[in-house]
Amino acid sequence: MSFSGYFKMIPILILLMAGIGVAQTEASTRVKFDPARSPKEDLKAAITQATASSKRIILDVGGEWCIWCHRLDAFIGAHKELKEYIEKHFVVVKINYSKENKNEEFLSAYPKVPGYPHMFVLDSNGKLLHSQDTGLLEKEKSYDAGKIMTFLKEWGKKKITNKD
């Protein structure tokens, strides 16, 4: 390849490197399931935030070992309307379930989880409203945006009363 041919490739290389940087940034900003976190303290903070912002709470139960947990995070991240709806109507708390920390004491307050990821929807005061098997939101080897949005709209009230 001639010297001028290399110069022509520079813009392509810059674009490729920028794309890789964006993908790495998105992956690194994903909230992870952390076995060292205290779900009790995280829920307490979520209740404070949900009460102040009139939102509901989603407890997202799973682990870094869980391929479907990663798929769900990536799917929501790739669907702007889902991501924005969640941000507007919910406070999301990642609850780790792994061999390092099963968080059994915390999770014992909720219905048994049939598989991972699993979501519990709570009111702004932390009262359980719904237990969601995310397998019902799947489509083939991914998720279904329509099913997820239906779930979110059913459980994300636009205006929450003091009673919620």
DSSP string, the chain: --HHHHHHHHHHHHHHHHHHHHHHHHHHHSPPP-TTS-HHHHHHHHHHHHHHHT-EEEEEEE-TT-HHHHHHHHHHHH-HHHHHHHHHHEEEEEEE-SSS---HHHHTTSPPP-SSSEEEEE-TTS-EEEEEEGGGGEETTEE-HHHHHHHHHHH--SS--S--
pLDDT of residue 47: 98
pLDDT of residue 21: 42
Q: How confident is the model at residue 77 (pLDDT cuts 50, 70, 90)?
A: very high
Q: What is the pTM of this model?
A: 0.80
The topology (CATH level 3) of 32-155 is Glutaredoxin (3.40.30)
pLDDT of residue 67: 96
Q: Residue 109 pLDDT more than 60? A: yes
Q: Residue 1 pLDDT more than 80? A: no
pLDDT of residue 30: 73
Q: Residue 19 pLDDT more than 70? A: no
Q: Residue 12 pLDDT more than 50? A: no
